[in-house]
């Protein structure tokens, strides 16, 4: 499934299966559910919270990152920082939060640069 948020604050739930979630602008909360999900991080998205990011296993999730924001994993990692039990990745006015994930847990395989 593909779920797209609109302008404003959205809550998107992927459910079972492999989903692609794009919160759009605003402050959005995204749940992929079961399956290997893709979460979109691009300019203009505002603040997005991925609430159930899976780092490994058959249902490993991926963040689709705009190459215009970050050209490489190393560039992205330099913009990431831990805040409590979460990691924030910031580019300009846009921030992607991965809940219950720490910067040290991230690997290049968690991101797809498009």
Domain borders along the chain are 2-113
pLDDT over 90 at 30, yes or no: yes
Report pLDDT for 31. Answer: 98
Report pLDDT for 57. Answer: 84
pLDDT band at 102 (very low <50, low <70, confident <90, very high): very high
Q: What is the pLDDT of residues 46-92, one digit of tens each?
A: 999 999 999 988 899 999 999 999 999 999 999 999 999 999 999 99
Report pLDDT for 58. Answer: 85
Residue 24 zone, left/alpha/beta (φ > 0; ψ -120 to 50; rest): left
User: Residue 20 burial (CB < 10 Å; 0-12/13-18/19+)?
Assistant: middle
């Amino acid at each position: 499934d593909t779920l797209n948020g609109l302008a404003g604050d959205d809550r998107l739930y992927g459910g079972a299966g492999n989903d692609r979630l794009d919160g759009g602008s605003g402050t959005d909360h995204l749940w992929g559910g079961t399956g290997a999900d893709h979460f979109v991080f691009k300019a203009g998205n505002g603040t997005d919270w991925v609430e159930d990011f899976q780092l490994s296993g058959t249902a490993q999730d991926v963040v689709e990152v705009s190459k215009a924001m970050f050209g490489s994993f190393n560039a992205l990692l330099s913009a990431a920082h831990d805040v409590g039990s979460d990691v924030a990745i910031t580019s300009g006015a846009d921030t992607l939060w991965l809940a219950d994930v720490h910067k040290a847990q991230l690997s290049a395989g968690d991101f797809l640069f498009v």
